[in-house]
Amino acid sequence: MAQWKVKVDQDVCIGDAICASLCPDVFEMNDEGKSQPKVEIIGEDLIDCAREAAEACPVSCIYIEEI
């Protein structure tokens, strides 16, 4: 089963929250109003929504890397 690592660049994130809206199983908003992964490693069950969230991010600060 394939796995991916999910990262959010906190310095670039503007707190739009579209990622948390589109993929709440992977992304959440922290106390500073920025996105962060709920889990750093995801499987095939979550990759589609994570990719959708990354593509929707207005500042492209979400990175998904296959491991």
Q: How confident is the model at residue 18 (pLDDT cuts 50, 70, 90)?
A: very high
Q: What is the mean pLDDT of residues 4-16?
A: 97
Instruction: Give the pLDDT confidence of 23-62 residue by residue, as tens digits.
Output: 999 999 999 999 999 998 999 999 999 999 999 999 999 9
Domain with 31, as residue range(s), is 4-66
pTM beyond 0.85, yes or no: yes
Closest CA to 25 of 44, 9, 2: 44
Residue with tokens 């095939």, as numbered in its chain: 44
Structurally, how many domains does the chain consist of?
Answer: 1
d(CA 58, CA 67): 25
Q: What integer pLDDT is reported at residue 1 of this predicted model?
A: 84
For residue 40, the domain's CATH number is 3.30.70.20
Q: What integer pLDDT is reported at residue 21 of this predicted model?
A: 97
